Amino acid sequence: MNFDIRGKKAIVTGGARGIGKSIAEGFAKAGADVAIVDIDIDEAKKTAEKIKQAGVKVIAIKTDVTKPDQVSAMVREVVEEFGRIDICFNNAGICINEKAEEMSYESWCRVIDVNLTAVFLVAQAVGRVMIKQGGGSIINTASMSAHIVNIPQPQCAYNASKAGVIQLTKSLAVEWMPYNVRVNCISPGYISTAMTLSAPDEWKKTWLDLSVARRMGKPEELLGAVIYLASDASSFTTGADIIIDGAFTCV
């Protein structure tokens, strides 16, 4: 099995911090050139500078992934810099916790736009490049929230958006299989990032009480699955969703 991604060219959206940052670092240490794509360009540049220490080429690109023109421009810039795109970790996402009966239309649209529509926009733009070049791997970030309803936080828009990511992943996988473009997703459980750690203490207590592992995962604990999906080791894996949640959704 060939898990080697040395020399491959990768995009990581939402790559400035959290899960995206961890995966970008992992790609770089494994020998891939990486484009850090984020709306927070200052933080993206900091991450890029750190990752360059691995001895690979790293660029930072400011992009609002909900804007088709910005996504297209970003993909063009990556191709100009790297020559091709072998891997796309489609990871940018947000969560707005509002009760369903009180949620504003604006909040609903914002979550769906970032978590689902933007995943399509990036996959579409990258997919066009990969189809033309003869293949590639797109890895979308879904969530265990696509499989369960989290408690006690109210997050119907987030759950719906992530369920959509899984079905979008399957649909693209089927459409693009003839072009050797593989599309898969991962569904993380509660991972120790700034977003989860900033949650109210009573929420975190409930999560840990319900957790089989009795802890949150670490961002780097997602890397093995992502490297597998990014590499030729997963050449017959497409349309898959890998749940990485410490068995949270098993009970």
Write the CATH number for 49. Answer: 3.40.50.720
Q: Is 143 an active-site residue? A: yes
Whether a cis peptide bond, with omega within 30° of 0, leads into 154 is no
Q: In what order do the strands lie in the sheet with 33-38?
A: 58-62, 33-38, 9-13, 87-90, 136-141, 181-188, 241-244
Domain count, the chain: 1
Q: What pLDDT, on the 0 to 100 scale, is given for residue 1?
A: 60
1 in a structural domain: no
Catalytic residue of the set 158, 190, 211, 228: 158
85 in a structural domain: yes
**Concatenated DSSP letters of 181-236:** EEEEEEEE-SB-SHHHHTS-HHHHHHHHHH-SSSSPBPGGGGHHHHHHHHSGGGTT
Q: Distance between alpha carbon 205 and the CA centroid of its chain, in Å?
A: 26
251 in a structural domain: no
Q: Is 137 an active-site residue? A: no
Residue showing tokens 């997963």: 234
84 in a structural domain: yes
Residue-level pLDDT, tens digit, the chain, 251 residues: 699 999 999 999 999 999 999 999 999 999 999 999 999 999 999 999 999 989 999 999 999 999 999 999 999 999 999 999 999 999 999 999 999 999 999 999 999 999 999 999 999 999 999 999 999 999 999 999 999 999 999 999 999 999 999 999 999 999 999 999 999 999 999 999 988 999 999 999 999 999 999 999 999 999 999 999 999 999 999 999 999 999 999 99
Catalytic residue of the set 22, 137, 143, 187: 143
42 in a structural domain: yes
Half-sphere exposure of 176 (CA within 13 A, CB side): 29
Q: Is 161 an active-site residue? A: no
Query: What range does the domain containing 137 cover?
Result: 9-246
Catalytic residue of the set 162, 190, 211, 234: 162
3 in a structural domain: no
pLDDT over 90 percentage in the chain: 98
Instruction: Copy the structure tokens of residue 122.
Output: 């990036």
Looking at 117-180, which runs of residues are DSSP E strands?
136-141
119 in a structural domain: yes
- To the question of pTM greater than 0.85 for the whole model, the response is yes
159-168 exposure pattern, b = at least 16 Cβ within 10 A, e = fewer? bbbbbbbbeb
75 in a structural domain: yes
